Structure 1
């Protein structure tokens, strides 16, 4: 940036579930990078991100930023020493559903930065579930020593409060992806010009070992196709797992869809904004992945959520919605009723839920604003 001197440049490490080619988490990273760039420019400083990634070379190519390997202690230590601070987040980092080492890793990175005297910032994190109370003191210590703490829902704030983090130090903000823009140069779709048949985005993930949830989802999609012709467009947010799941469900649909209906698999590549564009071209969306639902809300695409985790219910609740079903229960005809209602009256849905969506989009850059404000006020350190 012209006129920027060395005292106005801040190297900031970013820790999260990055470099795993998961569209949702990569969208979080893209959103954080764009928000930091925008807010830093507005504040007259420059932020140089260094992303801790499982695939540093890919992350550098994808985002045009410096990256270091998240699991190599030497790289991690050198990165934190060379940086002016650490952002932890966003995403569901502090939970023990995905493994016993998840919390120790992310808290460990925060504590290492703090031991090195670097300011740490929690960026729109989803906290929990945390089944092992032995993790509470670790999380409490890292959060209490952070310069700024934000979480993506009230439930996360309440859980931190129960761990002993003062509630007045926690800001509840939307998921960063609510602020993600479409790719540069994208022409906004014409309002009210829907494809025939309408496109239904479908984002599913394998959850139950017995596959009963995917069988019920397939049954629900068949029920919808019997009501009216639809084009089911499967959106794999986490490859290769979601691609395999989508193909398995499509195989279940083979020969069962109603006349004029079809099923296909999208391949938007690794760029999260390309997936956002895919979602923007849908007429409605059935989402199991959290970020599929967030993408749809971002673009005001009428959505139906299938819950497998409290974070789904929490996000839908912020919009004033409830899940259409869960991995344990999904009524095919009730789903078909709800989907048809969305397709018949999309503008009615947007009028009803648009204000809540707009509010979340406006709040999505709050963490970047707060972090830039801290850096500007502490540039002499």
Structure 2
């Protein structure tokens, strides 16, 4: 599984880095991996770390105040011209941009996340900076623009580590070429040490065992299925703790709370440390969220992962726990059987994977001892034209289209309207 690289591992101290990901969402898993990468850069390598966040106050609360922050244009309300210039100035002032990992290379809902990451990569490379990516997940990418962004992102990175073999194969199959600076590692969360169990999961005084539920609404899974799992846990004598990894998960919790009252409580996910300690102090966990399951592996907490997409099977399987991954439509009886199965934690194997991941990270930073890679003139100018079109020309065209639409819309053939929608990216 480990990538074999020949890199000078004498990492310079005191470099400046901007850490980028899906930051400011808030999504607990994505904030957590950024926290991990930022902490390793700061504490182990003495980097001056700035975190790019779409909503800085939210990230400051979750990740902490030990780092500088710069306002990014996604996720969030976007930037005005002054904010955009501040972002470019921050990139100009840094030594490298580091993508912290997570499912950044996908366009399931839109291409906005890929656009955000690719913009950072292209602007940093335009300024002659090192661009490094670690623990990335890839796919699915369905749109033509998503595939173009993937190509641009890979072209403007010095070195990329993905979190599983599936992601590497997906990138190379999508681009239809082998990528020499693309390597396979593990999820960035494996940079964390083993998580120790301590304290109580929640404030309530109880002698019951604790079961964690980390669920989300998904096609084929909703409140009905969540109620079945909760009922089974309560009937087995568990006090249930619901973990909301995104704000929209709270709607699912509200439905469960109305049904199960004092048998279910909501965990505190406001800080990175609380996310770790919550999972560490559970007796069992049922989770659809990848990083809650990875926390469980690091803590030795018995878990069952419900896979709503390929990443859970691939990433958790790569760590040797594929038997604990069930399909999303698994029945309650199957989940109970899996929960009752002894947790086959191999501490030596886990430690080896963690050490391998730390080696990967050192190899990634080893690029800083080399000259930053160059991008061909055609690709550089292609990127500049792309962003000029996306950030300047298209907004102006959208504004003009909105102005003339009420008058000219009825006169324009549907085929042309469809083409305009595709080009400008809005319903016209």
Q: With structure 2 as the length reference, what TM-score do the two structures score?
A: 0.73
- Cα distance, 1:153 vs. partner? 0.9
Q: With structure 1 as the length reference, what TM-score do the two structures score?
A: 0.81
Q: Give the counterpart of 1:250 among 254, 257, 263.
A: 257
Q: Give the counterpart of 1:177 among 162, 186, 189.
A: 189
Going from structure 1 to structure 2, the CA distance change for 1:324 and 1:247 (only over 3 Å counts) comes to: farther
Q: Using the alignment, how far apart are the partners of 1:265 and 1:189 within structure 2? A: 17
Q: Using the alignment, how far apart are the partners of 1:153 and 1:212 within structure 2? A: 26
Which string of whole-angstrom CA distances, capped at 9 and with x for unpartnered residues, describes residues 204-263 of structure 1? 11223xx7533123213323433x31111111222x222332222233445xxxxxx932
Q: Using the alignment, how far apart are the partners of 2:16 and 2:176 within structure 1? A: 31
Q: Using the alignment, how far apart are the partners of 1:332 and 1:279 within structure 2? A: 21
- Cα distance, 1:284 vs. partner? 1.2
- Cα distance, 1:325 vs. partner? 4.0
Number of residue equivalences: 343
Partner of 1:17: 22
Partner of 1:65: 67
Q: Does 1:290 align with 2:290?
A: yes
Q: Which runs of 5+ in 2 are unaligned?
A: 1-11, 74-78, 201-205, 373-428
Partner of 2:267: 266
SS at match of 1:236: coil
Moved more, 161-170 or 229-238: 161-170
Aligned CA-pair RMSD: 2.7
Q: Which runs of 5+ in 1 are unaligned?
A: 1-6, 41-45, 255-260
Q: Does 1:232 align with 2:240?
A: yes
Moved more, 120-129 or 359-368: 359-368
Q: Using the alignment, how far apart are the partners of 1:324 and 1:123 within structure 2? A: 24
Q: Give the counterpart of 1:121 among 125, 128, 132.
A: 132
- Cα distance, 1:376 vs. partner? 4.0
Q: Does 1:313 align with 2:317?
A: no
Greater C-alpha Rg: 2
- Output aligned runs, 1:129-278, within 5 Å: 129-162=140-173, 163-164=175-176, 166-181=178-193, 196-208=207-219, 212-226=221-235, 228-238=236-246, 240-253=247-260, 262-268=263-269, 270-278=270-278
Going from structure 1 to structure 2, the CA distance change for 1:218 and 1:330 (only over 3 Å counts) comes to: farther
**CA contact 2:216–2:222 (8 Å) conserved in 1:** no
